[in-house]
């Protein structure tokens, strides 16, 4: 199933997204937050509502994570394009929840940054508490679903600071959405594409991950407890480049849809 979070009459709601006559529509309200179900999205209680086309909805970021954990350099060709070694184990860093942004909202380029890059990525939403799972456990049971993320980055500050917190952490630097789905399989392969002003800049597939998702989740949860609703950004394919005010970035993840955000100056 697919769900989104949206605003209606001044209140935020979760909504079930279904295809109606070839168009995606929000068809029902979800009466509990999906991340509170332990991964059983099919059992969510729903309430009837007037359908809203997804394209016209006032979407909110579909996740409310306690933390956003990102994987750096998880595609070989992207590591190489920035002149980096292919890592021997996952490289992880945080973005703060204050950087979250919904579909359609403006990414604000900070005045102090010279170069700001998009990074189109598939995102993973955690279903249930995960800390050092045993080797026999199926990691899929910890996953609620998948979404699209733009791991927006102030590249010059990333290089200057060494630590990535500031470069990755500005407000508006984590667009997420438009929805969360459990109907795709990143192990089998999910296409990730980024366009700037309609021109294709990145085309990757999750089957080319250096570290598959089970390895990533086990690695992160060796160190820290993942809790329901936490978001993992799984790394970007090759093709990152700068964007400026006036550009529009679209990250499309197969089965999720398109996360579209204009870029403006602060």
**Residues near Mg ion (CB under 5 A):** 119, 151, 236
CA atoms within 13 A on the CB side of 142: 24
Nearer to Mg ion among residue 47 and residue 207 (C-beta): 207
Give the integer Cα–Cα distance in Å for 172 and 196: 17
Give the integer Cα–Cα distance in Å for 31 and 18: 16
User: At closest approach, how far in Å is the CB of 147 from Mg ion?
Assistant: 14
Q: Are 16 and 49 in contact (CB under 8 A)?
A: no
Nearer to Mg ion among residue 41 and residue 192 (C-beta): 192
Give the integer Cα–Cα distance in Å for 109 and 207: 32
User: At closest approach, how far in Å is the CB of 184 from Mg ion?
Assistant: 19
Give the integer Cα–Cα distance in Å for 190 and 182: 12
Please state whether beta strands 257-265 and 107-109 pair in parallel, antiparallel, or not at all (unpaired): parallel
User: At closest approach, how far in Å is the CB of 234 from Mg ion?
Assistant: 8
Nearer to Mg ion among residue 151 and residue 254 (C-beta): 151
Nearer to Mg ion among residue 202 and residue 221 (C-beta): 202
User: At closest approach, how far in Å is the CB of 153 from Mg ion?
Assistant: 7
Nearer to Mg ion among residue 27 and residue 261 (C-beta): 261
User: At closest approach, how far in Å is the CB of 131 from Mg ion?
Assistant: 24
Q: Read off the tokens for 265.
A: 């100056």
In angstroms, what is the C-alpha Rg of the chain? 18
- Under DSSP, the state recorded for 130 is B
Tell me the residue number closest to Mg ion, measured at CB: 151
């Amino acid at each position: 199933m697919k769900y989104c979070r949206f605003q209606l009459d001044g209140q935020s709601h979760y909504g079930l997204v279904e295809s109606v006559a070839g168009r995606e529509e929000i068809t029902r309200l979800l009466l509990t937050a999906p991340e509170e179900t332990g991964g059983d999205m099919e059992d969510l209680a729903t309430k009837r509502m007037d359908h809203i086309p997804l394209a016209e909805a006032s979407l909110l970021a579909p996740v409310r994570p306690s933390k956003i954990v990102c994987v750096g350099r998880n595609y070989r060709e992207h590591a190489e394009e920035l002149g980096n070694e292919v890592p021997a184990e996952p490289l992880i860093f945080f973005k703060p929840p204050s950087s979250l942004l919904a579909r359609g909202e403006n990414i604000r380029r900070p005045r102090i940054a010279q170069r700001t890059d998009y990074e189109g990525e598939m995102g993973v939403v955690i279903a249930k508490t995960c800390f050092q799972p045993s080797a026999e456990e199926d990691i899929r049971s910890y996953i609620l679903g998948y979404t699209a993320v733009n791991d927006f980055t102030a590249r010059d500050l990333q290089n200057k600071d060494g630590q990535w917190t500031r470069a990755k952490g500005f407000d508006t630097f984590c667009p997420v959405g438009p929805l969360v789905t459990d109907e795709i399989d990143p192990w089998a392969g999910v296409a990730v594409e980024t366009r700037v002003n309609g021109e294709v800049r990145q085309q990757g597939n999750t089957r080319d991950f250096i570290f598959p998702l089970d390895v990533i989740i086990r690695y992160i949860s060796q160190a820290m407890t993942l809790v329901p609703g936490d978001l993992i950004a799984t790394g970007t394919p090759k093709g990152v480049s700068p964007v400026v005010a006036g550009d529009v970035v679209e990250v499309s993840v197969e089965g999720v849809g398109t996360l579209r955000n204009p870029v403006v100056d602060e």
